[in-house]
Amino acid sequence: MENTEIARVFEEIADMLEISGGNSYKIRAYKHAALNIRELSKDLKDIYMGDEKNLRAIPGVGEHIAKKITELLETGKVKKHQELLKKISPQLLELMRVSGIGPKHLRVLHDKLKVNNLDDLEEACLGHKVRDLEGFGEKTEEKILVAVEEFRHFDKRMKLEPAEQCARAIIRHLKESKVKIDRIEAGGSLRRGRETIGDIDILVSTDKPEKVTERFISYPEAETVIASGPSKSSIFIKSGVQIDLRVVRDESFGAALVYFTGSKAHNVHIRKIAKFKGLKINEYGVFKGDKSIAGKEEEDIYRSIGLRYMPPEIREDRGEIEASSLNKLPELIELKDIKGDLHLHTDASDGRQTIVQMAEASRERGLKYIAITEHSKAVRVAHGLDEKELFRHIKKIERVDKKIEGIRILKGVEVDIGKDGALDLDDSLLKEMDVVIAAVHFRFDLDREKMTLRLLKAMENRYVNILAHPTGRLIGERKPSEIDFEVIFEEAASRNVAMELNAHYDKLDLNDIHCRQAKEFGVKVVISTDAHFVDGLDYMKYGITTARRGWLEKKDVLNTLECGEFLKSIKRS
């Protein structure tokens, strides 16, 4: 059992206890334990090693929780969890994922209106029954209804990080078989790095297709086999995700990879080009009459129809094929180009680790500089700091920076942008910072004009260097604020304010389309992780994927510069 699964069980216990009106102390204990388990860098089973006492060293894990972890590791289940699941249906629990609905709401909805699933909830809203419940009201009812519709739309797609984990696990399972696999790769939207993934596509080349198929459908996580044959199989795994497997001979691997990477629009376009040249292209190769002229490598497929190789991230038929034929493809940014991370939290606000720990972990990941950017006081839920506390904090940053070798730590802050665009901190503090990032944390729902004016106002402040996660979206949970990006980008370019591409896979904000638009407006982008714990630093790769999808090159991204150059580049006049 992986740490994330164990954490999920505890989170579910906490939620179910809360829905059923359980003891608030216990609820907190489960939540706290789940958080800490998620952030462990070691596997729980390696910490446990058959001795419950070893678990007690983990923060947030007392005797009670240690027992539950042991139970999970030993039996794969926890009785408490099973009991609660009998009381509270999975459909009810699932409603926790509808934006704006917490366990307390759910309890009222369930007790008073007998809401048990998404349909019930929608019906209750449409029948205007929700507005009369204590603590709800008309506005809340409207919001819930919108959230229900969004939930229906998003629910079927996975986010990038879990999709990647899922693909990694099945690839490992296939590779561990005795059958010789020549090549194996994930294709589809995952390979293109889309922000959400519908299903996982795995491509294998081998001389023993039947054996590979057998191995595939015997995946321990498989719940249902949808189809199985020597070239094509599909399964549902327990989490509800579909995995498609395609098996080809190695001489066709390149052609199959092009085909199954897509996008469909890209495929349709290249097929048209092939046809125009009197060629036929399919998942087995490129053919002139009956004769195969390419198939083994992706490069060969493209070359045979007069195109240069296009990285998967841009295969969306958004001009990449034209650019390729004219030899005008962008030289996309790569992870190794990144030298700094300009949005990090520590335990001084809502992060988990110290400045030193974050700095050391960043250095290990090859970064040359970071900015520590705690929340400001308005963001109370995240323990935002006031001016006095921040003055003290930046002194501390200075001290750590002096001591630590091999990485520069910049003084920064993530200042909250109020409803009217006013910043939450005084200029006398902001001017002490090396980097000021400004961001919205409340009232994401203003109309387009108000929201645009709000951001414009924030950018007026001459100490603001970066606008962080500009739309405020949480993929699948909170939709992006409506913003007139043309106006914002024009202003950002003229005032030299950079836009953040927040690399967290929940956010990816700016998104790919915005990145491309920012570039057209001459706006510079900074890709930052917003890490709240050291493992969060690894999410940089999702930011890079998104930047690549937005055609960004090294020169478009400011944190590819050395620290001194970076600081010069963000100077405002």
Residues that bind ligand DGT (CB under 6 A): 188-189, 194, 197-199, 201, 259-260, 262-264, 267-268
Helix residue spans in 155-192 (DSSP H)? 160-175, 188-192
Neighbours of 406 (CB within 10 A): 11
238 binds, among Ca ion, ligand DGT, none (CB under 5 to 8 A by kind): none
Which contiguous run of DSSP H or E holds residue 182? strand 181-186
Return the number of the residue (212 or 235) whose C-beta is nearest Ca ion. Answer: 235
262 binds, among ligand DGT, Ca ion, none (CB under 5 to 8 A by kind): ligand DGT
Shortest distance, CB of residue 386 to ligand DGT, whole angstroms? 45
Q: Answer left, alpha or beta for residue 291, where phi above 0 means left and psi between -120 and 50 means alpha.
A: beta
Is there a contact between 545 and 539 (Cβ–Cβ < 8 Å)?
Answer: no
Shortest distance, CB of residue 192 to ligand DGT, whole angstroms? 7
Shortest distance, CB of residue 214 to ligand DGT, whole angstroms? 23
Shortest distance, CB of residue 138 to Ca ion, whole angstroms? 41
Chain length of the chain: 573
Shortest distance, CB of residue 109 to ligand DGT, whole angstroms? 32
Return the number of the residue (194 or 393) whose C-beta is nearest ligand DGT. Answer: 194
Return the number of the residue (148 or 166) whose C-beta is nearest Ca ion. Answer: 166
Return the number of the residue (189 or 517) whose C-beta is nearest Ca ion. Answer: 189
Query: 3-state DSSP call for residue 415?
Result: strand
Return the number of the residue (298 or 414) whose C-beta is nearest Ca ion. Answer: 298
Return the number of the residue (219 or 521) whose C-beta is nearest ligand DGT. Answer: 219
Neighbours of 29 (CB within 10 A): 21
Shortest distance, CB of residue 365 to Ca ion, whole angstroms? 30
455: β partners: none
Return the number of the residue (314 or 466) whose C-beta is nearest ligand DGT. Answer: 314
Contacts of 30 (CB under 8 A, 6+ apart): 10, 11, 13, 14, 17, 65
Return the number of the residue (188 or 421) whose C-beta is nearest Ca ion. Answer: 188
Shortest distance, CB of residue 156 to ligand DGT, whole angstroms? 9
Which token pair is 232? 């094509």
531: β partners: 344
Using CB positions, name the residue nearest to ligand DGT: 262
Return the number of the residue (109 or 241) whose C-beta is nearest ligand DGT. Answer: 241
376 binds, among Ca ion, ligand DGT, none (CB under 5 to 8 A by kind): none
Q: Can you tell me the distance from the alpha carbon of 370 to that of 411, in angstroms, rounded to the nearest whole number? A: 9
Question: In this structure, what DSSP letter does residue 367 have?
Answer: -
Shortest distance, CB of residue 199 to Ca ion, whole angstroms? 4
401 binds, among Ca ion, ligand DGT, none (CB under 5 to 8 A by kind): none
- The DSSP annotation for 494-530 comes to HHT-EEEEE--TTT-BS-HHHHHHHHHTT--EEEE--
Return the number of the residue (103 or 312) whose C-beta is nearest ligand DGT. Answer: 312
Q: What phi, psi does 414 have (nearest 5°)?
A: -105, 95
Shortest distance, CB of residue 197 to ligand DGT, whole angstroms? 5
Amino acid at 314: I
268 binds, among ligand DGT, Ca ion, none (CB under 5 to 8 A by kind): ligand DGT
For the chain, the straight-line distance linking the first and the last C-alpha, in angstroms and rounded, comes to: 55
Q: What angle do CA 32, 41, 531 make, to 5 degrees?
A: 70
Q: What angle do CA 201, 202, 208 make, to 5 degrees?
A: 140
209 binds, among ligand DGT, Ca ion, none (CB under 5 to 8 A by kind): none
Shortest distance, CB of residue 207 to ligand DGT, whole angstroms? 24
Which contiguous run of DSSP H or E holds residue 213? helix 209-217
Return the number of the residue (262 or 543) whose C-beta is nearest ligand DGT. Answer: 262
263 binds, among Ca ion, ligand DGT, none (CB under 5 to 8 A by kind): ligand DGT
264 binds, among ligand DGT, Ca ion, none (CB under 5 to 8 A by kind): ligand DGT
260 binds, among Ca ion, ligand DGT, none (CB under 5 to 8 A by kind): ligand DGT
333 binds, among Ca ion, ligand DGT, none (CB under 5 to 8 A by kind): none
Is there a contact between 99 and 113 (Cβ–Cβ < 8 Å)?
Answer: no
Give residues in contact with Ca ion (CB under 5 A).
188-189, 199, 201, 244
In 210-316, the DSSP E strands lie at 222-228, 232-237, 242-248, 280-282, 285-288, 291-294
3-state secondary structure 318-357: CCHHHHHHCCCCCCECCHHHCCEEEEECCCCCCCCCCHHH
Shortest distance, CB of residue 246 to ligand DGT, whole angstroms? 9
